[in-house]
Amino acid sequence: MPARAADLHPHRAPKALGVLATLACVACCALPVLITAGVLGAGAGAVVGWLPGLAVVLAVLASGTWWLGRRRRPLLLRAEDRR
């Protein structure tokens, strides 16, 4: 079994969080239009209030996990070189 530092497969967490942030952003823009058009009920208006915050939090988490993954990989590779 290869060492974790030798794992060349990209981590999926940043991509998944980025997709969720994108979906939250699209929903945030689409829900007011759908409510106004009468496709969705007014109850969906309660969701519109917290969707921008959710999209921002997910985008920050995606960026943070991507940055940590990029930062950690060279450190692990250097530790393997010292052995």
Higher pLDDT pick, 32 / 83: 32
Q: For 53-76, how does the pLDDT look when each residue is reduced to its tens digit (9 = 90+)? A: 999 999 999 999 888 887 766 655
CB 26 within 8 A of CB 18: no
Q: Name the DSSP class of 4.
A: G
Q: Is the pTM higher than 0.85?
A: no
Taking CA atoms, 30 is separated from 18, 41, 47, 60, in Å, by: 18, 13, 12, 22
